Amino acid sequence: MARLCVVGTGYVGLVTGACLAGLGHGVRCVDVDSRKVEAINDGKSTIYEPGLGELVKRMVRAGRLCATTSYREALADADFTFICVGTPSQADGSTDLAYICEAGAMVADALAQRQKSKGKTAQARRHILIVKSTVPPGTTESLEPILREAGLPHVGLCMNPEFLREGNAVYDFMKPDRIVVGAMERKDAEAVMRLYSTVAAPKLKTDLRTAEMIKYASNSFLATKISFANELANMCEKFGVDVYDVADGMGHDRRIGRAFLNAGAGFGGSCFKKDVSALLHEVRHRGAEARILNAVLEINEAQPYRVVELLREALGPLTGARIALLGLAFKDNTDDVRDSAAIKVARALVDAGANVIAYDPQATANAKKELGPRIEYAASAAEALKGADACALVTEWPQFAKIPMRAFRKMKRPLVIEGRNVLDKKALKKAGIKYAGIGRKKF
Ligand code: UGA
């Protein structure tokens, strides 16, 4: 069991802290937000994420997880620090590294104080500072001068990217496809890898910049796959072919794989657009171009509006039309609406004069902060559908597949536009409900 400090209790930080405690380590989280700290110490998760609330409660009770606002307290006896703070996008696509630098400086200060209090003669224990936040190649090594100035030659630097999907984060942490640790010194990478000794996964040790780049390359490739599927969907519509049948046929080829070929209203969330834009910015800054990434973002920008076009093709002008919007979150199993395609569809429909009534199993409260009273919010899918001129499904919640056909029949004009791939097409057809979708065959 190792003693760890995790800086930041946002999405990545809390999942990382709770899961590392779950692996048997002692974890102290540090955050400036005292409300988050209190909640964690009460055994409560501050974010909606399946399985996380239960894990936080168990780990706090077991005495393996706690939180504090004090860096000195969090670092009192830790041998490893994971930096899990936000790296937001700036207007030009570049990454704001202020939180990373601040966290690095605070950790350095606390470690220097710890060293001082132990007396000059005491042998300094090796400490490893690990960046987990997604940062442009070259960022982790830029923390070195901060450590040097603080007189901390015994602190090593590592980069350990996260590959956590919202809604599946605990599973992804415990059963990862791979673990990557970049380091300046091999012994540090080995020490960080030992923290994951009970996790079965391919383990890759690299240098710092390679680890940072692996994260950007992975997210950019996944975003590229989705934009490819969306471009393909638009082509399939022209040929009267269903894009999902094509994706299934392609996906059996092991060189291609079926995952992330699901066409629809486009990717959202806090990561893909941010990371692709950051990589584009960094590449341009170095005098090169990443043409494929430009196209990925361009296709994704247009994709939510395909849902609105399909509604218009079916209904004519949308002024005064009542549209049931199923889904507000950027994907299923989350209450997160950041960069959600559903929010873009809602705004476009309102701008076109439609009356929108939306339902989401988890994200309504967050959507209200974005859309306010511009749309109505229903307490169930059935309530949203009642009396609607059409339904647009934009988030892949699996429970939407269970909406009874009688609820669709309660629409004024039974018409469904699907921006994902959730509904049972055969059942809809049998029930006499008209259907169109992105890259789908109409009936
Ligand atoms: C993504 C990556 O999948 C994680 O590996 C990564 O760690 C994370 O970003 C991050 O950088 O922190 P996340 O954004 O939570 O995770 O969600 P995804 O499951 O990747 O979905 C992102 C978006 O793509 C969603 O809007 C989803 O609806 C859309 N999507 C996904 C598609 O439109 N089609 C697909 O085939 C798959």
410, 411, 415, 419 alpha-carbon torsion, rounded to 10°: -100
pTM (two decimals): 0.96
Residue 121, pLDDT > 70, answer no
Q: Stretch 428-435: mean pLDDT, rounded?
A: 96
What pLDDT was estimated at residue 119? 72
pLDDT digits (tens, 9 = 90+) for 273-313: 999 999 999 999 999 999 999 999 999 999 999 999 999 99
pLDDT digits (tens, 9 = 90+) for 344-384: 999 999 999 999 999 999 999 999 999 999 999 999 999 99
Q: How many Cα atoms within 13 Å fall on the side-chain side of residue 199? A: 24
Mark whether 101 is an active-site residue: no
Q: Stretch 2-25: mean pLDDT, rounded?
A: 98
Q: At what angle do helices 291-315 and 272-285 cross, to 10 degrees?
A: 140
What pLDDT was estimated at residue 197? 98
Confidence of residue 413 (pLDDT cuts 50, 70, 90): confident
What pLDDT was estimated at residue 213? 98
Ligand 1 and 183: CB distance under 6 A: no
pLDDT digits (tens, 9 = 90+) for 175-215: 999 999 999 999 999 999 999 999 999 999 999 999 999 99
Atom of ligand 1 nearest to the CA of 134: 11
CB 381 within 8 A of CB 359: yes
Q: What is the pLDDT of the chain when averaged over all its residues?
A: 96
Distance 59 CA to ligand 1 centre (A): 28
Other CB atoms within a 10 A radius of the CB of residue 148 amount to 12
Residue 122, pLDDT > 80, answer no
Ligand 1 and 300: CB distance under 6 A: no
Atom of ligand 1 nearest to the CA of 219: 2
CA–CA separation, 275 vs 417, rounded Å? 30
What pLDDT was estimated at residue 429? 95
